[in-house]
Amino acid sequence: MSADRRTQAERSAATRQALLEAGRKLFGQLGYGSVSTVAIADAAGVSRGAMYHQFADKRELFEAVFEDVERSLVRTIGSAVSASGSTDPIENLIVGCLAWLDASAEPEVQRIALLDAPAVLGWHRWREIELQHTIGRLEDSLSGAVEAGRIRTQAVRPLALVIVGALDEASQYLAKFGDSPQEESNIRAVIEQLISGLAHDT
């Protein structure tokens, strides 16, 4: 009996994962409004009934896809910071912000996280999810830098939101002019200067 339950749980998890992957691909390519539940179910290789067993409607699936995008961004940022080998909080913030910038400039992330998510989920839910993932990670990094004396003592959340606003604008700029190495270099330099300017030497 327990083996049967595990098998059912595994099947359910596989169905959910297939729907997330299909939804992420379609939402990223076409946008929320142009994707039907039939198309998602077909792309995932499951029935619409199986899809509705996992998600109440398209909006709920989109929210899960957005959270999946946010988690992948956090993993990307974490991997970049770990790979840098730096122990300086300011250097780690720069590396993390540039990794976030690069990932956010991807068309799929742009479409899901920056264009559709605020409109589909509403600003408050969109921001709530970001605070649990990417913005939350940035707040933790800023708090660590404050505790280490590398950034002046201040309210971390407003600082994090201002940095996020800059990253969002920068990623949209790169999405438009990213084919120009000079423009990409200029934007990256601005982000580095922004974060470096926070440094406080005690």
154 and 78 together in one domain: yes
Tell me the C-alpha distance between 182 and 195, whole Å. Answer: 20
Q: Within a domain: residue 142? A: yes
Predicted pLDDT at 6: 65
What pTM value is reported for the model?
0.91
Domain assignment present for 202: no
Question: Does residue 43 sit in the same domain as residue 69?
Answer: no
CATH number at residue 38: 1.10.10.60
Same structural domain, 108 and 178: yes
Residues 67 and 115 in one domain: yes
Same domain, residue pair 39 and 66: no
| Total number of domains in the chain | 2
CATH code of residue 99: 1.10.357.10
Residue 178's pLDDT is what?
Answer: 64
Burial class (CB in 10 A: 0-12, 13-18, 19+), 199: middle
Q: Same domain for 31 and 15?
A: yes
Residue 30 lies in a domain: yes
* Residue 103 shares a structural domain with residue 178: yes
Task: Please list the pLDDT of the chain residue by residue as tens digits (202 residues).
Answer: 455 566 888 889 999 999 999 999 999 999 999 999 999 999 999 999 999 999 999 999 999 999 999 999 999 999 999 999 999 999 999 999 999 999 988 899 999 999 999 999 999 999 999 999 999 999 999 999 999 999 999 999 999 999 999 999 998 888 877 678 888 899 999 999 999 999 987 5
Phi, psi of 135 (to 5 degrees): -65, -35
Please state, in angstroms and rounded to a whole number, the distance separating the CA atoms of residues 70 and 194.
23
Tokens 């780690």 sit at which residue? Answer: 92
Residue 7: per-residue pLDDT: 84
- Assess whether 21 and 116 both reside in one domain: no
- Asked if residue 26 belongs to a domain, the reply is yes
Predicted pLDDT at 158: 97
Could you tell me which of 57, 66, 165, 68 has the C-alpha nearest to residue 117? Answer: 66
Check whether residue 86 and residue 15 sit in a common domain: no
Token pair 């509403």: residue: 122
Same domain, 163 and 63: yes
* CA separation for the pair 53, 56 (Å, rounded): 7
Check whether residue 100 and residue 31 sit in a common domain: no
pLDDT at 4: 59
Domain span at residue 15 reads 1-55
Predicted pLDDT of residue 155: 96
Question: Within this chain, do residues 102 and 181 fall inside the same structural domain, yes or no?
Answer: yes
